[in-house]
């Protein structure tokens, strides 16, 4: 591991501790000094959060909750309430649970969203728990196989100083995880409404949107990752949302959908 990587890891550990403790240093930095990039997802979330202090969120695929997470600073700064869902036990216990141990407003759950409560297998890289590695975990084994075949995994491993297994068959392992339906999740989290539904599930995003009863639940804003969706799935997602009175906007790897008649719809015009 090179010096740059070591320093980066130390910095991330410090920021994690500040966020977990809800330090005034952390909160006030994002309240008074932070300015998101123009035209970014962060700019939209920043403005939406300021206009809706204490909003209700459901985040599906929260991972560690802070590394490359676009929401944690606003959750902490503007006292969001709601549910964060992460199926990987190591990630949940080591990071997400600790990140929100001092918050009574946010409840993290160690489940994967599905159409029934039960047990299901997910696939992950078995040789590393680095954020880039856990971020590739998926219900779809072929998603990881593709990342391996195109050199994405090897490139990250090299930059991180991680030695790859000699046998390619040892790259991927299975993990049994608990699943939960959206209805049971909302009951557990005591939620009756959703202002923001955030989804990052490595190509499973359309299926998650379908699992929620969008016509009745009507989240004010839905943010999902589009980069791992096929063209057909992306078109299906847009059609589903627009047919339910949402206006959509693509921002790089993410798509924002907002109810057309929402009082804050003007925030999407940036």
pLDDT digits 0-9 by tens, 85-121 = 999 999 999 999 999 999 999 999 999 999 999 999 9
Q: Mean pLDDT across the stretch 10-15? A: 93
In the predicted model, what is the mean pLDDT of residues 133-160? 93
Confidence grade of residue 1 (pLDDT, cut at 50, 70, 90): low
Q: What is the 3-state secondary structure (H, E, C) of 67-110?
A: CCCCCHHHHHHCCCEEEEECCCHHHHHHHHHHHCCCCCCEEEEC
The pLDDT of 23-37, averaged and rounded, is 97
Confidence of residue 43 (pLDDT cuts 50, 70, 90): very high
Q: What is the pLDDT of residues 172-192, one digit of tens each?
A: 999 999 999 999 999 999 999
Give the pLDDT band (50/70/90) at residue 8.
confident
Distance CA 66, CA 179 (A): 23
Mean pLDDT of 139-167: 92
Q: How confident is the model at residue 160 (pLDDT cuts 50, 70, 90)?
A: confident
Q: Answer whether 177's CB lies under 8 Å from 192's CB.
A: no
Q: Structural domains in the chain?
A: 3-118+181-268 (3.40.50.150), 119-176 (no CATH)
- What value does the mean pLDDT take over residues 209-226? 96
CA–CA dist 31, 10 (Å, integer): 24
């Amino acid at each position: 591991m090179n010096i740059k990587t070591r320093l980066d890891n130390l910095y991330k550990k410090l920021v994690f501790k500040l966020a977990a403790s809800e330090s005034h240093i952390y909160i006030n930095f994002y309240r008074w000094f932070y300015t998101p990039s123009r035209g970014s997802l962060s700019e939209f979330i920043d403005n939406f959060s300021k206009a809706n202090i204490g909003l209700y969120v459901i985040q599906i695929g929260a991972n560690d909750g802070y590394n490359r997470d676009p929401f944690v600073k606003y959750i902490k700064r503007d006292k969001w309430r709601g549910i964060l869902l992460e199926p990987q036990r190591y990630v949940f216990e080591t990071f997400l649970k600790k990140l929100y141990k001092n918050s009574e407003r946010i409840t993290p759950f160690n489940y994967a969203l599905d159409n029934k409560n039960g047990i299901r297998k997910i696939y992950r890289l078995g040789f590393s728990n680095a954020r880039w590695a856990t971020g590739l975990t998926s219900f779809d084994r072929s998603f990881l196989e593709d990342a391996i075949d195109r050199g994405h995994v090897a490139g990250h491993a090299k930059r991180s100083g991680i030695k790859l297994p000699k046998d390619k068959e040892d790259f991927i392992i299975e993990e049994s995880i608990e699943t939960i339906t959206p209805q049971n999740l909302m009951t557990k989290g005591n939620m009756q409404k959703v202002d923001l539904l955030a989804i990052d599930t490595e190509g499973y995003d359309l299926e998650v949107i379908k699992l929620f009863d969008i016509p009745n639940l009507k989240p004010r804003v839905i943010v999902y990752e589009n980069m791992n969706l096929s063209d057909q799935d992306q078109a299906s997602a847009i059609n589903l949302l627009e047919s339910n009175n949402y206006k959509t906007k693509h921002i790089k790897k993410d798509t924002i959908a907002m109810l057309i008649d929402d009082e804050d719809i003007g925030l999407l015009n940036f």
